[in-house]
Structure 1
Amino acid sequence: MKNNLIPAIRLTLVCLVFFCGVYTVAVWGVAQLAPGQGNGFTISQNDKTHHINVGQSFTSDNYFWSRPSAVGYDAAGSGGSNHGPSN
């Protein structure tokens, strides 16, 4: 049992350090190269800051359909349902 337990604990610790530390910092570093540094783009309106490009409403057939929303595509709004118009 001891032959299996020590490698399992060691693997758990290595994975914990890698996925909670190294991988997280690597993804954050790559995001810093993107426009907006991975923080998204914001717009200020009426002394409130909102993120743009969240749940855009597409009306042209050139785009994929976005996810249906029960409360519209306003990032400041929220609702208790994520049901689409057909369900």
Structure 2
Amino acid sequence: MPDGSKRPVKFDGIQGDYVIDRKWSVVDRPRARAQILRQLQVLAEHRLIGTREVPTPVQKVKALKLLKQMSITNIHVKVVKP
């Protein structure tokens, strides 16, 4: 954490150099943004790339919009069947 404390960051899996986080829906709320920032920090520290897997193209558009607003470039988004 920015203040020096530690907080666990959870992902749903790993595939090669990609760390996977699956989401049923994308929400733009403070807790969701905080989670993305924690994940971003862990990915940067370990030089990994994140992948957000979402169930529909609509959710992919929402996720890409949120990541763009937050200026995040090392988390990719793809649609996968649930």
- Normalised by the shorter chain, which TM-score bucket? under 0.3
TM-score by length of 2: 0.21
- Report which structure shows greater RCO (CA 8 Å, sep ≥6): 2
Q: Which has the larger radius of gyration?
A: 1
Structure 1 or 2: more strand by fraction: 2
